[in-house]
Structure 1
Amino acid sequence: MIFITVIILFSFVLLMMFLFILCYYLSKKITRPNTHKYEETYQWEIESGRISEEQLNRLEKEEVFIDSPYGYKIHGLFFQNRNSKRAIILCHGITWSLYGSLKYVEMFLNKGFSVLVYDHRNHGLSGGKDTSFGYFEKFDLKACTDWVFKQLGNDSVIGLLGESMGAGTVLQNIAIDSRIKFCIADCGYSDIITLFKYHLAKDYKIKRLPLIEITSIITKLRTGWSFKDISPIQCISKVDTPILFTHGGEDDFVPTWMSEEMHKAKRNFKDLYIAPKAAHVETYWRNAEEYEKRVDKFLIENNIITND
């Protein structure tokens, strides 16, 4: 009997050690993802036709380095629309760089906006040693907003557009910065715990082991934030900032229903566009004309631009 008890206890200890090691590894992978090199993202965007090198070189722009509240520099490109008091800040997705946001630049320049694109912490040419899915990034974004106000004046109208992790970031940001006049969130996650559990079940068929819960505790100890802190759906239910949710109808990386449930949770000043035949971050590219029409409608209805 004693022998059996010892075997059970030993097996339990081994299982706990295995779970801890596995969850520590997962925590490191989540907070320090394999980001693509800055020049690599540029080349990919050029080769895929999402950036025209000739058009990019023609646009007037300034390379900027903005102070993060966490002690590093945030790298960005600023496209100033002279004599304009409107601006939009673009936020890219995880593992990529600001070059992923350049596809939107000319659309907003043509609407009379200045545009700031920047690299998230731990991405591109920005500093920072880890990624937090919007927890720390939202304060970096606030620093970028401060910088734009300094360039254009405190009476400026500033909006945000983010895709994927960038969408998660802008949705968390508007809960801490009431100065933002509008927000466009493309293929954003509603809740990070729900997203991680979705991928464990879909990709690895794991549904019952408490991996997410343990990994969250380890992440809190390592970095100061836990997964329960990343829940944009909780943020947007408390803000009046107008939000346009866009999502690819065939997105199975961040499932489409996440934007649908956030749209339902938002109290007012909201719109939703589900793009047909579009996977993750393909909303604009698969439906560019319709996408721009939806953006125009949203901006006109919220008195950001006029219907000239």
Structure 2
Amino acid sequence: MAWLWMSVGTAAAALLAVSYYFSERVLRIRTNKGEAVLASELGQGRLTREAVEALPKEELAIASPFGYSLYAWFLPSAAGETARTVVFVHGVTSSLHGMLKYAEPFRRRGFNALLYDHRRHGRSGGDFTSYGYYEKRDLAAVVDYAFERGGPSAVVGVFGESMGAATALQYAAEDDRPAFVVADCPYSDFREQLAHRLKVEYGLPPFPLLPLTSLWCKLRAGFRIGDASPMRGIAAVRAPILFVHGEADDYVPPAMSAALHARAAAPKALYLAPGAAHAQSWAQDRDAYERELDAFLRANGLLD
């Protein structure tokens, strides 16, 4: 009987160790420096160095409610002075540089662009990545800045990609001020996303690893995996939402955007980009992407 208890104890210890390792990978996921993200964007032809160097950027440090600074760029509209601003929220492992390609179409359409690095990303502070749970409060601070800078006539929209899109939706469920949200390839629920990746990458079921990993996240960082859930609050979002997702996305399934779109109560549109992989809808067909964007903005009175 003693050997049985020893075996059980060994298995339990191993499971705890493995789940702690996964919590470390979740909370401290590898991130890329802004220079590396920019180099990738340049290498893939999404930006040119001349255009980036010519940007009239203003570098900012916006205070997070958690006590660190959020590194940001403010880019004025190319069409002249305006109180209309779009806040851009990048994906996990990336930086504000990854959102520059999306900022330019808005600047041409008469919006300022405000881009920033997530907590623990780029040049911003912070200890853990929480997949929108804490990031939504950082986003709120950035949106506050945009409204303060724009004054009484300020109009502020939010554009997010991947984790940034999930963050934007979680934030918008708690704040009615944004004029619109563009959510490009969001996950609908972080637990479901991790379960999907466990199956794809390791061939593992979610139980018992995910509950134990979630417990470690709670003990170490104060949130459970299931707390990061755009689906939970999507019906409360009042801002018009444009959902974008690549039909060939095998990282975050496009069914997640379809499910969010189906449950959303706000004015909404869904663009499934043919043949596009994860976060590649704009790169796959820029003209089609901008047509969908124009139609959405016009439908909601934000573009002449």
Match of 2:104, as an amino acid? E
The two structures have a TM-score, normalised by structure 2, of 0.97
Provide the aligned length of Structure 1 versus Structure 2: 302
Contact 2:189/2:231 (8 A) holds in 1: yes
Provide closer, same or farther for how the CA distance between residues 128 and 208 of structure 1 changes in structure 2, counting only shifts above 3 A: closer
What is the distance in 2 between the residues matched to 1:80 and 1:153? 15
**Post-superposition offset of 1:277:** 1.0
Name the SS for the 2:70 alignment partner.
Answer: strand
Q: Quick check: 27-36 or 233-242, which moved more?
A: 233-242
**Post-superposition offset of 1:228:** 1.4
Residue 269 in structure 1 maps to residue 251 in structure 2:
no
CA deviation profile, 1:180-221 (whole Å, cap 9, x unmatched): 110000010000111111111121111264101110011001
What is the distance in 1 between the residues matched to 2:192 and 2:33? 29
Q: Which of 10, 15, 35 is the equivalent residue of 1:19?
A: 15
Provide closer, same or farther for how the CA distance between residues 220 and 55 of structure 1 changes in structure 2, counting only shifts above 3 A: same
Residue 69 in structure 1 maps to residue 65 in structure 2:
yes
Name the SS for the 1:237 alignment partner.
Answer: helix
Query: How large is the Cα RMSD of the aligned pairs?
Result: 1.1
Contact 2:184/2:279 (8 A) holds in 1: yes
2:129 equivalent in structure 1: 131
Q: Which of 20, 36, 40 is the equivalent residue of 2:36?
A: 40
What is the distance in 2 between the residues matched to 1:269 and 1:294? 15
What is the distance in 2 between the residues matched to 1:154 and 1:139? 22
CA deviation profile, 1:6-62 (whole Å, cap 9, x unmatched): 222211111111111111110011010111122111222122211111112222110
Q: Which runs of 5+ in 1 are unaligned?
A: none
Residue 301 in structure 1 maps to residue 304 in structure 2:
no
Q: Quick check: 6-15 or 183-192, which moved more?
A: 6-15
Q: Which of 111, 117, 134 is the equivalent residue of 1:119?
A: 117
Name the SS for the 2:276 alignment partner.
Answer: coil
Match of 1:136, as an amino acid? Y
1:282 equivalent in structure 2: 280
Contact 2:119/2:126 (8 A) holds in 1: yes
CA deviation profile, 1:239-286 (whole Å, cap 9, x unmatched): 221111000110010111100111111123010000011101101110
What is the distance in 2 between the residues matched to 1:259 and 1:209? 25
Larger Rg belongs to = 1
Provide closer, same or farther for how the CA distance between residues 151 and 208 of structure 1 changes in structure 2, counting only shifts above 3 A: closer
Name the SS for the 1:217 alignment partner.
Answer: helix
What is the distance in 2 between the residues matched to 1:268 and 1:183? 10
2:45 equivalent in structure 1: 49
Q: Which of 168, 173, 177 is the equivalent residue of 1:175?
A: 173
2:82 equivalent in structure 1: 84
Match of 2:192, as an amino acid? T
What is the distance in 1 between the residues matched to 2:228 and 2:165? 12
Q: Quick check: 76-85 or 291-300, which moved more?
A: 76-85
What is the distance in 1 between the residues matched to 2:99 and 2:184? 12
Contact 2:174/2:237 (8 A) holds in 1: no
Q: What aligned pairs does 1:155-166 form with structure 2 within 5 A after superposition?
A: 155-166=153-164
1:224 equivalent in structure 2: 222
What is the distance in 2 between the residues matched to 1:237 and 1:119? 28
Match of 1:13, as an amino acid? G
Q: Which runs of 5+ in 2 are unaligned?
A: none
What is the distance in 2 between the residues matched to 1:177 and 1:242? 13
Contact 2:174/2:236 (8 A) holds in 1: no
What is the distance in 2 between the residues matched to 1:291 and 1:110? 15
